[in-house]
Amino acid sequence: MVKAIENQMNRELQFLNRHRKIKFGMFTNKGNKAINRIVKSSSSYTEAYKKMKELTALHPEATDTAVRDSVFMYFKNKNKTLN
């Protein structure tokens, strides 16, 4: 079950990467742009997650499961460190 979900998320992320419109599951475009900046400026998932926690003051959904999973898969597919 987990593998099937991971495969689906990989396919979705590859599709989004091809179209250069990465959506991280935020409610607004502004929120997606904020997460995108966090991901680009972070060297690991752990670092990104800490920044996402800070972003919850402006965008409470920044640490929702869908957003966390999208960011996790981004780091996994970019072969960046997850720690």
- List CB contacts of 17: < 8 A, sequence separation 6 or more: 77
* Tens-place pLDDT, residues 5-63: 888 888 877 776 665 556 788 988 899 999 999 999 999 999 999 999 999 999 999 99
- List CB contacts of 34: < 8 A, sequence separation 6 or more: 26, 55, 58, 59, 62
* Tens-place pLDDT, residues 47-81: 999 999 999 999 999 999 999 999 998 888 887 66
Parse the chain into domains and list their residue ranges: 2-77
Regarding pTM above 0.85, the answer is no
The DSSP letter of residue 27 is: S
